[in-house]
């Protein structure tokens, strides 16, 4: 399970680091909460148990646009042969703030972190947990994802991070179909 984000304190709590925040939540729930840096994998990692399954939680130490250079060695290290066994959690401009969607495979929606993963793995068949951050009202998408959201939106994002961690747990214990059924409600249904 990989949570995408950018390294460094200047990116903490930005919209783009929502995936990394989910990994931190899962590490608190199931492990020590302290990921250790594996230089050869270009990621911080903690192995935990979710139910009776062993799960590697990882956050690339690369910048978002180079996430694939961390994910590919992680896939090799942990012997992942089926890309559907890889769960990538990331921010999503095409979903409203706080919305959540679990998805297997599909397009990249212009997300540079996903584009990098696809370039290194040569597949888009991995599972995604998409956390809505909404589109900017003005300015560029790049500025929007790297900004810290205002308090009301931050509250929605914090709730989505907890629900995304719940969704990862359901994917691991009950499968992707159960997670999609439970977490892919329309925003108006939340």
Active site (annotated) includes residue 16: yes
Distance CA 91, CA 110 (A): 12
Three-state secondary structure readout of 116-161 = HHHHHHCCCCCEEEEEECCCCCCCCHHHHHHCCCCHHHHHHHHHHH
Contact criterion met (CB below 8 Å) for 135 and 144: yes
> What is the tally of helices (H) and strands (E) in the chain?
6, 7
Cite the active site residues.
Answer: 16
């Amino acid at each position: 399970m990989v949570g995408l984000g950018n390294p460094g304190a200047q990116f903490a709590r930005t919209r783009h680091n929502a995936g990394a925040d989910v990994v931190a939540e899962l590490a608190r729930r199931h492990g020590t909460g302290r990921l250790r840096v594996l230089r050869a994998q270009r990621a911080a990692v903690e192995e935990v148990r979710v139910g009776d399954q062993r799960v590697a939680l990882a956050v690339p130490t690369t910048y978002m646009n180079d996430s694939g250079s961390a994910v590919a060695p992680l896939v090799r290290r942990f012997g992942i042969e089926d890309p559907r066994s890889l769960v990538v959690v990331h921010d999503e401009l095409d979903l409203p703030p706080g919305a959540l969607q679990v998805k297997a495979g599909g397009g990249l929606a212009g997300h540079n972190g996903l584009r990098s993963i696809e370039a290194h793995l040569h597949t888009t068949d991995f599972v995604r947990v998409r956390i809505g951050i909404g589109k900017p009202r003005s300015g560029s998408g790049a500025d929007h994802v790297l900004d810290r959201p205002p308090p009301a939106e931050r509250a929605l994002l914090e709730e989505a991070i907890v629900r995304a961690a719940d969704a990862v747990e359901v994917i691991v214990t009950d499968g992707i179909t159960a997670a999609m059924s439970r977490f892919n409600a329309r925003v108006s249904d939340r």
